[in-house]
Structure 1
Amino acid sequence: MPFVLPLLGLAVFAQGTSEFMLSGLLPDIARDLHISVPAAGSLTSAFAVGMVIGAPLLAMLSMRWSRRRALLAFLVAFLLVHVLGAVTTHYEVLLATRFVAALANAGFLAVALATATAMVPPDAKGRATSVLLGGTTMACVAGVPAGALLGELWGWRSAFWAVALLSLPALLAILWSVPADRAPRFSDAGSGTRGELRALRGPRLVVLLLLGALVNGATFCAFTYLAPLVTEVTGIGAGWVPAVLALFGLGSFVGVGLGSRLADTRPAPLLVAGGAALLLGWTVLALTAGNPVAALVLVFVQGALSFAVGSTLVSQVLYAATGAPALGGGFATAALNVGAAIGPWCGGAALTAGLGFRAPLWVSALLTALALVLAGVARGARRRTVRRGVPSAQDAPA
């Protein structure tokens, strides 16, 4: 595995920390900037919108650049807006920096996925993907609690400075290790974009992207409302909530590691068995959430299963997107973030309807069930096509 990949993973860790850390900093930000907590919460929404828009858009805009230039541009932009966010005293400026940071994050991750898979053998895309996505899972395990601790000790601005500093090693690694291609990836960005967009219309890719959105929606629906679940239903004290969230993050880190061992060699069994286990796990957790031991075990297990299946779906998108090496990672990133936005919204709607704190778990189970049904329908369609004598690599997910 090339040396630069773990350092790209460090940049993804910094970006994931930036995305999630505001959950522990909002009250401090609201007091400092003299705004309401809901207004501070809009900072999170701005980041989510930027991620969904930025992944495909910036992947397309960067197609005239070499990967090294694109990675440097996105990472420098991400670093600078965090410095600006750390020193500003105006809410509107901070809101703008969150949106721009998300655009840079989305563009960086899209290009980093393409770069990572291009720097490894053709049959190692799953392992390369897991190195980058491992940065996101470590943000849940260590980055978010560390950001909250920094905010408590030295104020919310110190967390923004820390994210900027964490980005520096990756910046140096890109300068040192990513080839400085002089030519852009496409001499005609317009025709290159059109060609890649045509490749992304293949049924198999569309199904894989939908599956990624559904599985990630289920993951973040449950994760977003994990704190009230364990305090109100499980009966664990509020002081233990960071440890429970870290337990989920630790499970996700383990899941990405275990998934990477099978994503390149046996993806179909992993997805089928992992998807079925996810559905069972969300259902059992919803039923047994009142038992602290069962709840804690299942929080870890569901974190592992969610990210094992999710990271494998991302690697399968990259395997299937051979005709779209630049945009495949961008659309995979966008699909994951669509799920990360829709899942919590669905869980919140269930809570607003008065269905109780177990309701988001049932929503996660429903989203997972929809993913399994979609995968089954797509596999059946592929088999019917093959029986008619028109096999195609783009018909359904592996």
Structure 2
Amino acid sequence: MNESFRQEKAALPDAAENADAAPVSGKTAALIELALAVGGFGIGTGEFAIMGLLPDVAASYGVSVPEAGHVISAYALGVVVGAPIIAVLSARLPRKTLLIGLMSLFALGNLASAFAPGFLSFTLLRFITGLPHGAYFGVASLVAASMAAPNRRASAVGRVMLGLTVATLLGTPLATFFGQMLSWRSAFVLVGTIAALTALLIGLNLARDKVEESASIRRELGAFTRPQVWFNLAIAATGFGGLFAIFSYIARTTTDTAGLPASTVALVLVVFGIGMNVGNILGSRLADYSLKGTIGGMQVFNMVVMTTFSLTAANPVMLFICVFLTGCGFAACPAVQTRLMDVAADAQTLAAASNHSAFNIANALGAWLGGLAVAHYGYGSTGYVGAALSVLGFCVFMISLLAERRSITVNKA
């Protein structure tokens, strides 16, 4: 165990002494993780299902499909804004109360979205619905990690994230199917129901925790005074951008570049979802072995895979292989989430929640840069954008290591 790892652990509250980390049985911990994962499943389904229902939403409100796409941006903006603000303002709230409140807001936002009378109100409701997204995943990750052994925290975080990755494989297609068969509004009713169920499951299984006396808004804001927090948020904002650069345009890459029929797009998306789930499971286990190694290693992995994607995008077989491996790039997510909780010391809630703000910045950055590349070089070029963003993420990672070593040297002196 290296010196920096020991220092990070020393900065963390002892799980045995932490009031909100009361010992729980294996069965109870599994039920709590399941409840938290159900919430992730609902959030993932709600976030991605709208992409397949945009034409229906546009027709319902009498706007163009590009205009309807603004609701996706509104939701993402809600995530970016809501995560740090909610994390700071809720510093004195018990985690159980906060989680139930966040999922209740998410449930109400989706149910209200289903009955929005006009496009403006619908867009506003999507912004409001996005507010609890990042804070929920941040707090849920902290709760899961607090119940796990020190060398199994990333796996616990990965199990919570499994709800999100399973949503890309099952939840989104199901919600899209029901939305197209019945009404797009029914998809939001479904998501709202899942969120309400999550709040109930958390209420039944998670014990009420005590808030530390030292908890405060000022302490949470202290996370942003730590350079390593900013470095890791920057890694998330850049390193994950490549995934979205490719994913945002994968349908047209499949049909226009690989020359496959439109009917195969759904299969490509399934392969991508399988890759995300495999990456999440393997990545969380690798992170338990080495957080930094997983973060840095996955950036290199993404450089190779995404470059290969662009070089071979016209080959249908290679397209499927590279799409699967691109999805596997999600493996870095549990590692980055856990690393943020470490370097934030006693301001973990804000740091953990802000990771999902960074993730949505990666979404916007990847889609934007990917669009620029498509306009000039075609759909197959998105892999080069992804590789470039992975290089940037790796550079930030290396700078963070150098800064950490310098800080250790100064402290020793």
1:390 is aligned to 2:386? no
**Is the Cα–Cα contact under 8 Å of residues 212 and 314 in structure 1 kept in the other structure?**
no
**Is the Cα–Cα contact under 8 Å of residues 239 and 392 in structure 2 kept in the other structure?**
no
1:96 is aligned to 2:117? no
In the TM superposition, 1:64-75 aligns within 5 A as: 64-75=92-103
1:364 is aligned to 2:383? no
Partner deviation per Cα, 1:290-349 (whole Å, 9 max, x = no partner): 111111011101211x11122211121122222212212112121111111211111112
Q: 1:250 to 1:382 in 2, by over 3 A?
A: same
Q: 288-297 vs 312-321, which deviates more?
A: 312-321
1:106 aligned partner: 134
Partner deviation per Cα, 1:240-292 (whole Å, 9 max, x = no partner): 11110121111010100011112122223323332212101100110000111
**Is the Cα–Cα contact under 8 Å of residues 51 and 334 in structure 1 kept in the other structure?**
yes
Q: 1:38 to 1:72 in 2, by over 3 A?
A: same
Distance 1:272 1:342 in 2: 20
Q: 80-89 vs 114-123, which deviates more?
A: 114-123
Q: CA deviation at 1:390?
A: 3.4
Distance 2:400 2:78 in 1: 31
Q: CA deviation at 1:368?
A: 0.3
In the TM superposition, 1:254-269 aligns within 5 A as: 254-269=278-293
Partner deviation per Cα, 1:112-142 (whole Å, 9 max, x = no partner): 2222222323332201210121111111111
Which aligned runs of 4 or more in structure 1 are off by greater than 3 angstroms?
Answer: 186-189, 380-386, 388-392
Residue identity matched to 2:236: G
Partner deviation per Cα, 1:9-54 (whole Å, 9 max, x = no partner): 1111111111111111011111112222122111101001000001
Q: CA deviation at 1:148?
A: 1.5
**Is the Cα–Cα contact under 8 Å of residues 63 and 186 in structure 1 kept in the other structure?**
no
In the TM superposition, 1:169-248 aligns within 5 A as: 169-181=197-209, 185=211, 192-248=216-272
Residue identity matched to 1:25: L
Residue identity matched to 1:151: G
Q: Unaligned regions of 5+ residues in structure 1, if any?
A: 393-398
Q: 1:237 to 1:391 in 2, by over 3 A?
A: farther
RMSD: 1.9
1:380 aligned partner: 402
Distance 1:275 1:188 in 2: 37
Of the three residues 104, 125, 132, the one matched with 2:153 is 125
Give percent identity, aligned residues only: 31
What TM-score results when the alignment is normalised by the length of structure 2?
Answer: 0.88
1:340 is aligned to 2:363? yes
1:252 is aligned to 2:276? yes
Residue identity matched to 2:90: S
Of the three residues 41, 45, 51, the one matched with 1:23 is 51
**Is the Cα–Cα contact under 8 Å of residues 178 and 186 in structure 2 kept in the other structure?**
yes
1:328 is aligned to 2:356? no
Q: CA deviation at 1:57?
A: 0.7
Residue identity matched to 1:374: V
What TM-score results when the alignment is normalised by the length of structure 1?
Answer: 0.91
Of the three residues 355, 371, 380, the one matched with 2:377 is 355
Q: Unaligned regions of 5+ residues in structure 2, if any?
A: 1-25
Residue identity matched to 2:371: G
**Is the Cα–Cα contact under 8 Å of residues 125 and 318 in structure 1 kept in the other structure?**
no
Distance 2:194 2:79 in 1: 20
Q: CA deviation at 1:187?
A: 5.0
1:144 aligned partner: 172
Distance 1:374 1:222 in 2: 21
1:286 is aligned to 2:301? no
Residue identity matched to 1:48: A
SS in 2 for 1:65: coil
2:12 aligned partner: none
Partner deviation per Cα, 1:176-206 (whole Å, 9 max, x = no partner): 122223x5x35576xx222232244222222
SS in 2 for 1:390: helix
Residue identity matched to 1:135: G
Residue identity matched to 2:389: L
1:78 aligned partner: 106
**Is the Cα–Cα contact under 8 Å of residues 303 and 391 in structure 2 kept in the other structure?**
yes
Distance 2:127 2:412 in 1: 43
SS in 1 for 2:245: helix
Q: 92-101 vs 201-210, which deviates more?
A: 201-210
Distance 2:397 2:352 in 1: 21
Distance 1:166 1:62 in 2: 24
Q: 1:302 to 1:177 in 2, by over 3 A?
A: same
Q: CA deviation at 1:385?
A: 5.2
Q: Number of matched residues?
A: 385
Q: 1:335 to 1:177 in 2, by over 3 A?
A: same
SS in 2 for 1:124: helix
